[in-house]
Structure 1
Amino acid sequence: MEDRDWLILQALYEQKNITKTAQALFISQPALTARLRNIEEEFGIKIVYRTSKGVHFTPQGEYLAKSSTDILFNLRRIKEHVTDMNSSVAGTLRLGASSYFTMYMLPRLLQCFKQEHPHVEFKVTTSWSREVFNLVHNQDIHVGFVSSDYGWQSQRHLLFEEPVCIASASPLDIRNLPKLPRINYQTDSLIKAMIDKWWRENFAESPSISMEVDKLSTCKEMVASGLGYAIMPSLIVSNIEHLHKIILTDKEGKPILRRTWMLYHEELLEMNIVSAFVHFVKNIDFLNLILPCK
């Protein structure tokens, strides 16, 4: 079997649909069907049955499809190891990052790293911190950047921490928050839990949610336009001078902080490209003008 055949089995098992699988892999349906037929002939088995509701895998076909994940993983590790046998820093660096980190810091970080190592390419996955954590754990990516602490047991490095604040276009009395219009945004579950805990410790009534938006960046623009207040990480509004910010504090009067971490497996540092990147990131001052290139 060719490498692409294992990729076809993996994608078809996820999609359960010939048309969607062909579209996902950018090949024609006849070509996909022909490859499936070749695989069946090679193993002497029936892999799938096609019905009006999609495809159904035979027990043998399901076993091959589930094996494809491990086989593709091993093939990728072999290729990376062969590439890494050369002492130069080259190849594809697989990264994962939260949407917040991707939008405001990752582009500048990769630009600076590529200036020092021009033969490196990047494959970036953007998702919630929890999903990035899982990607690092499963070694689907080399390095992950998350904005929550999920109890990572291998190597991690604290990049920066920032206070969580109440941001509004005009001054407000924090005691009146339950009566004021609040703008909510989708965020990582641990960050949401942290904000909800602070609210319960300070108010006996629910907030007055006037707007729900999908992204933190959208929420920032709504707040800047005077449409309500929001509780958000302070860095995102640090460059908007006219906004009023109140830092959240716990019962002991200490600022409530959101921490951003770099996660990776120690054994991956044996790869030149990963070792170089981790070392580079550890020497970046993330709060100094948001990653100025050296």
Structure 2
Amino acid sequence: MDEKDWRLIEMLSIEKSITGAAQRLYVTQPSLTYRIQQIEQMFGTKILIRRKTGIEFTAEGELIACYARQSLRELQKIIDRVANTGSNVRGILRLGVSSIFAHYRLPELLKVFLQHYPDVEINVKTGWSTEILQSVYREEVHIGIIRGDFQWPEHQHRLYFEPIHIVSKREVDLAVLPKLPRIQYKTDLPLKNMIDSWWQSTYKSLAPRTTMEVDNIQTCKELVKKDLGYAILPGICLQETDQLKIQPLRATDRKILYRNTWLICRDSLLELSAIRAFVDFSSNFNIDQNRTEGCESE
């Protein structure tokens, strides 16, 4: 088996379909099937079971798939270390980034970084912070940018922070907030827990009057802009043109509640020039930490 076979096996484990794997690998289905047969002949055992709903690895196939994934990770480590050697900052930088941060702040950060280090090639993967954390653990990415406070044992520094706001089109009285229509969006567990804890400490047994639930923060904000209800949103999503009323969430001691964004990576990767350059650059980059232009603060 070689690198192409490792990637073939990995893609089969991801797609659970010969047709899907062939499309992702840009090969024909017959050629992929033929290569699977050759691998099975090499090991003297079946590695796949074909079902109506797709494919399933046999126990032997699972062992081979595990070996393929490990081999690809080790190969990528070697490629990255070779690419990152030398006195010049160059090589591949693999970033795993929270989707919200990627949407609102990452483009400017990468633009300025590449102006300083044009020989660095950047690969970006976005997703939930919990997914990015796992990607860093599995060494699928060099650096993770995650929102919320997680346990991480190696290098980390705070990249960004912003207050959490009650956001509305018109001024609202916090005393009657439980009676007003609330627009809720799907978010990660740390932020949900922070908001729920604030609500319980502020309004005790009174439940919010949630009238709309949407799957992303952009839709939520657009509904608020049409005066269809209020929302509780992190400051990162508030833009100059929104023209919304905002009030920061405050704890019982009147301190404003903030949402942290962290950069994390493994200590050993700081030896690589591109990773070290990005870590140092990002720690000094001014990411407009409390941007609320275009919104009127209460």
TM over 0.5: yes
Aligned to 2:10: 10
Pick closer, same or farther for the CA change 1:185–1:21 going to 2, 3 Å.
same
Pick closer, same or farther for the CA change 1:214–1:132 going to 2, 3 Å.
same
In the TM superposition, residue 229 of structure 1 has moved relative to its aligned partner by 0.5
Note the 1:147-158 alignment, pairs <5 A.
147-158=147-158
Which segment is superposed worse, 21-30 or 130-139? 21-30
In the TM superposition, residue 186 of structure 1 has moved relative to its aligned partner by 1.1
Aligned to 2:60: 60
Q: Structure 2: which amino acid aligns with 1:151?
A: Q
Pick closer, same or farther for the CA change 1:162–1:272 going to 2, 3 Å.
same
Are 1:194 and 2:202 counterparts?
no
**Any gaps of 5 or more consecutive residues in structure 2?**
292-298
Pick closer, same or farther for the CA change 1:52–1:188 going to 2, 3 Å.
closer
Which segment is superposed worse, 15-24 or 158-167? 15-24
Aligned to 2:215: 214
In the TM superposition, residue 125 of structure 1 has moved relative to its aligned partner by 0.9
Which segment is superposed worse, 280-289 or 166-175? 280-289
In the TM superposition, residue 286 of structure 1 has moved relative to its aligned partner by 0.8
- CA distance in 1: counterparts of 2:113 and 2:288, whole angstroms: 17
Pick closer, same or farther for the CA change 1:12–1:242 going to 2, 3 Å.
closer
- Secondary structure of the structure 2 residue equivalent to 1:159: strand
Aligned to 2:42: 42
Q: Is the 8 A contact 2:160 2:289 kept in 1?
A: no
Aligned to 1:20: 20
In the TM superposition, residue 85 of structure 1 has moved relative to its aligned partner by 2.5
- Secondary structure of the structure 2 residue equivalent to 1:141: coil
Q: Is the 8 A contact 2:104 2:236 kept in 1?
A: no
Aligned to 2:257: 256
- CA distance in 1: counterparts of 2:14 and 2:44, whole angstroms: 23
In the TM superposition, residue 16 of structure 1 has moved relative to its aligned partner by 2.7
- Secondary structure of the structure 2 residue equivalent to 1:10: helix
- CA distance in 2: counterparts of 1:133 and 1:152, whole angstroms: 9
Note the 1:1-294 alignment, pairs <5 A.
1-203=1-203, 204-237=205-238, 239-240=240-241, 242-287=243-288
- CA distance in 1: counterparts of 2:101 and 2:157, whole angstroms: 15
Q: Structure 2: which amino acid aligns with 1:228?
A: G
Q: CA RMSD in A?
A: 1.8
- Secondary structure of the structure 2 residue equivalent to 1:253: coil
Q: Structure 2: which amino acid aligns with 1:253?
A: R
Q: Structure 2: which amino acid aligns with 1:246?
A: Q
In the TM superposition, residue 37 of structure 1 has moved relative to its aligned partner by 2.0
Pick closer, same or farther for the CA change 1:183–1:32 going to 2, 3 Å.
same
Q: Structure 1: which amino acid aligns with 2:82?
A: V
| Number of residue pairs aligned between Structure 1 and Structure 2 | 290
- The TM-score, its normalising length taken from structure 1, stands at 0.93
- CA distance in 2: counterparts of 1:63 and 1:276, whole angstroms: 38
Q: Is the 8 A contact 2:97 2:144 kept in 1?
A: yes
Pick closer, same or farther for the CA change 1:289–1:246 going to 2, 3 Å.
closer
- CA distance in 2: counterparts of 1:17 and 1:40, whole angstroms: 17
- CA distance in 1: counterparts of 2:116 and 2:137, whole angstroms: 28
Pick closer, same or farther for the CA change 1:164–1:52 going to 2, 3 Å.
closer
**Any gaps of 5 or more consecutive residues in structure 1?**
none
Percentage of pairs with the same residue: 40
Q: Structure 1: which amino acid aligns with 2:238?
A: V
- CA distance in 1: counterparts of 2:153 and 2:61, whole angstroms: 36
- Secondary structure of the structure 2 residue equivalent to 1:232: strand
Which segment is superposed worse, 166-175 or 5-14? 5-14
- Secondary structure of the structure 1 residue equivalent to 2:171: coil
- CA distance in 2: counterparts of 1:117 and 1:241, whole angstroms: 34
